Amino acid sequence: MPTSPPGDRNSTRGTALVIFAKAPIPGQVKTRLCPPLTPDEAATLHGSFVLDTLERTKAAVDKLKVQMDRYLACAPSPTHVFFKVMEERQGVRLIDQIGDDLGARMHQSVETMFSRGYRRTIIMGTDVPTVPLEYLRQALTLLDNHDLTIGPALDGGYYLIGMSKPVPELFADVPWSTDQVLRLTQEKAARLGLKTALIQPWRDVDTLADLEALIEAYTTEAKKPKNERAFSTRTAGVLQTLAKRLRSRT
């Protein structure tokens, strides 16, 4: 189990936000987008998404006054230079992803956070770069009187799950990366008698159709004033470049 940074076991802030991320290694991330993307392009897109998530969650803490400690659950290892840079620049704490599948890794991270004294744990991925900050605050608020809060993804999974206590059964025997994840999780929660709340659904980016939808959203948003745009300048540039390249490859 990862060692605790000083003071974590007596945390009084109450909530840990664990962001699951892979290092942007070509050939190991966003592989469902390859082709038509090259492995390098997919890795660049993924890296920008990770940065977006870290920047937006920091904004949630700073601007929305959401009280939480942010952790980055790292794969393949927290020692990867990408994660070390994120730790230094984004002020996020690093932990390892431990387990044979996604469910086991999520369960381990939840157990780690509760063992460190947190009263609530929220896990989210990095494939929802434009999810409104308000959704994160809603998830946190709902945990005041719910056991479980879930942010549904449009593909039948979820982009966020928050818990007020560890429930290992929620992560066991789930066919991850299928359209059954959300339904089975809700059914498990109902059988276990958990009080569950859903926040608004959002599209994550796994497939070419998802990427095309994101590019379309960026194209629409580019017409708005800069202070009203959800996309970072960095990701907007990546999407603009990819859109041009995809048109040339069709």
Using pLDDT thresholds of 50, 70 and 90, give the confidence band for residue 153.
very high
Percent of the chain with pLDDT over 90: 84
Q: What pLDDT is attached to residue 129? A: 87
Of the listed ranges 60-64, 79-83, 159-163, 236-240, the one predicted with least confidence: 60-64
Of the candidates 157, 68, 169, which has an alpha carbon nearest to the alpha carbon of residue 119? 68
3-state secondary structure of 166: coil
What fold characterizes domain 8-203? Spore Coat Polysaccharide Biosynthesis Protein SpsA; Chain A (3.90.550)
Q: What pLDDT is attached to residue 9? A: 39
Which single residue is written with the structure tokens 């041009």?
244
CA dihedral for 100, 105, 106, 112, sign (positive or negative): positive
Using pLDDT thresholds of 50, 70 and 90, give the confidence band for residue 3.
very low
Q: What pLDDT is attached to residue 11? A: 40
156 has a pLDDT exceeding 70: yes
What's the pLDDT tens digit per position in 181-195? 999 999 999 999 999
10 has a pLDDT exceeding 60: no
Using pLDDT thresholds of 50, 70 and 90, give the confidence band for residue 13.
low
Domain boundaries, the chain: 8-203
Against a cut of 0.75, is the pTM above it? Answer: yes
Mean pLDDT of the chain: 92
Of the listed ranges 35-44, 65-74, 164-173, 220-229, the one predicted with least confidence: 220-229
Strands 196-198 vs 148-152: parallel, antiparallel or unpaired = parallel
Measure the CA–CA gap between 249 and 107, rounded to whole angstroms.
Answer: 41
- Residue 120 tokens, joined: 């609530």
User: How many alpha carbons fall within 13 Å on the CB side of residue 215?
Assistant: 17
Mean pLDDT of 124-135: 92
What's the pLDDT tens digit per position in 53-96? 999 999 888 887 888 999 999 999 999 999 999 999 999 999 99
Q: What pLDDT is attached to residue 7? A: 39
6 has a pLDDT exceeding 50: no
What's the pLDDT tens digit per position in 97-112? 999 999 999 999 999 9
Measure the CA–CA gap between 183 and 197, rounded to whole angstroms.
Answer: 13
